Chain A
Amino acid sequence: AQSVTQLGSHVSVSEGALVLLRCNYSSSVPPYLFWYVQYPNQGLQLLLKYTSAATLVKGINGFEAEFKKSETSFHLTKPSAHMSDAAEYFCAVSEGTSYDKVIFGPGTSLSVIP
């Protein structure tokens, strides 16, 4: 069975500082991994995805994530935080096709301090 853990339910950074949101996964097959962002009272927006191509994945809004098989990790980073980055971030894992289940991690709430 697949699962996702996100270390730190809440992360707070200063504006302009590095953002690092941690994600570790468990999967019996090579996984597909995703990061989603959710702003208050809104739906999900896909930030980036790993689908077995390049291990360093670049997404929207300056975010990127690196797939490390040996560490079963897919941490999300952004060099410089903006106030508009404050939101809830979810890491998710899936197997193979778009018809497979997508399992979400518990989420990390990011706060950006002016």
Chain B
Amino acid sequence: GAVVSQHPSRVICKSGTSVKIECRSLDFQATTMFWYRQFPKQSLMLMATSNEGSKATYEQGVEKDKFLINHASLTLSTLTVTSAHPEDSSFYICRAPVPAGGAEAQYFGPGTRLLVL
């Protein structure tokens, strides 16, 4: 079946640094990918929709200059947390829909846990 990977799975960084998280669709092309954030003991909140070849669409309240999204190819989307602060510590999960699939044809990555010290 379709697989979505994320790298790294876990990252610890110092406050003020930037962190890049990759989301890859391994055996299908994904023109669209979705990025979610999950704070401890909370639900997943949609941050943005990543579109190959065009700008990402951000949800209300998400700072686009802080969370840079680049959909570099049909199999790769990256989320860069710029100038990370401790409040950015979270679990970041991507989702990729399978082309021509129904609503159920969607796959989540395993997530990236970010800890900002």
- Interface members, chain B 81-99 (any A CB < 8 Å): 93, 95, 97-98
Using C-beta atoms within 8 Å of the partner chain, give the interface range for chain B.
20 to 34
In the complex, chain B residues whose CB is within 8 Å of the CB of A90 = 43-44
Verify B97–A101 contact, CB threshold 8 A.
Answer: no
- Select from chain B the residue with minimum beta-carbon distance to A98: B97
Give the CA-CA distance A49 to B103 in the complex, in Å: 9
Give the CA-CA distance A96 to B97 in the complex, in Å: 12
In the complex, chain A residues whose CB is within 8 Å of the CB of B93 = 43-44
Q: Distance in Å from the Cβ of B48 to the closest Cβ of chain A?
A: 11
Q: Is B105 located at the chain interface by the 8 A CB criterion?
A: yes
Verify B103–A94 contact, CB threshold 8 A.
Answer: yes
> Which residues of B are interface residues toward A (Cβ below 8 A)?
32, 34, 36, 41-46, 49, 93, 95, 97-98, 101-106, 108-111, 113
> Which residues of A are interface residues toward B (Cβ below 8 A)?
32, 34, 41-44, 49, 51, 90, 94-107, 109
